[in-house]
């Protein structure tokens, strides 16, 4: 009897976790069900002074991460983003981290301190963040090989490592 009660609690907890995960990622399927939206093209300077143009990366799966130095959650997500980058960099995956600080000196100090393995682009006039209608930070857009925005992830979704990695792999396998 006690064993049956334990099993029932276990099943209940598993179902609750599943429901929570599904609700957390429920908007991930919306981009596929609705008409696909082509990612807006842009050119921004990287932390190294190199111009990076989004359209030149067509054929790769691209993650666009929008962040700012004043956003604590943004800064805390850097190790996760680095994990996604390291796991996928050899599979035609590109991560572009777009800083939206208007104070370039402050942004550059943090970039040097963190030593990113992937390009950090500087958008001090918020032209690209407006182009993508970024309203919350951090925000991560996943773009397929054909240049269409397939997913938009918020802070909580970015932290769900297993699910986010599965989404990236799904796009890489298309």
Question: Partners of 95 in the beta sheet?
Answer: 63
SS3 139: strand
| Residue 7, in any domain of the structure | no
What are 46-56's pLDDT values in tens digits?
998 999 999 99
What are 114-147's pLDDT values in tens digits?
889 999 999 999 999 999 999 999 999 999 999 9
45 pLDDT band, cuts 50/70/90, is very high
Domain extent, residue 83, equals: 29-172
Contacts (Cβ under 8 Å, ≥6 apart) of 65: 77, 81, 95, 96, 97, 98, 138, 139, 140
List C-alpha distances in Å: 103 to 74, 76, 109, 122, 168.
Answer: 16, 20, 10, 10, 32
| Residue 15, in any domain of the structure | no
| Residue 17, in any domain of the structure | no
Number of independent structural domains in the chain: 1
Report percent pLDDT > 90 for the chain. 72
What are 75-99's pLDDT values in tens digits?
999 999 999 999 999 999 999 999 9
| Residue 83, in any domain of the structure | yes
Check which CATH number belongs to the domain holding 121 and give it: 3.40.30.10
| Residue 36, in any domain of the structure | yes
């Amino acid at each position: 009897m006690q064993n049956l009660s334990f099993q029932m609690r276990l099943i209940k907890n598993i179902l609750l976790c599943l429901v929570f995960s599904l609700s957390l990622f429920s908007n991930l399927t919306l981009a596929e069900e609705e008409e696909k939206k082509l990612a807006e093209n842009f050119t921004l300077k990287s932390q190294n002074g190199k111009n990076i143009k989004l359209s030149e990366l067509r054929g790769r799966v691209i993650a666009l991460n929008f962040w700012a130095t004043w956003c604590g959650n943004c800064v805390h997500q850097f190790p996760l983003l680095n994990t996604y980058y390291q796991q996928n960099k050899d599979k035609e995956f590109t991560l572009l981290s777009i800083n939206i600080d208007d104070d370039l000196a402050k942004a550059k100090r943090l970039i040097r301190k963190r030593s990113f393995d992937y390009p950090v682009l500087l958008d001090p006039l918020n032209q690209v963040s407006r182009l993508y209608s970024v309203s919350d930070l951090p925000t991560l857009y996943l773009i397929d090989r054909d240049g269409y925005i397939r997913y938009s992830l918020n802070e909580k979704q970015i932290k769900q490592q297993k699910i986010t990695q599965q989404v990236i792999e799904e796009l890489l396998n298309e």
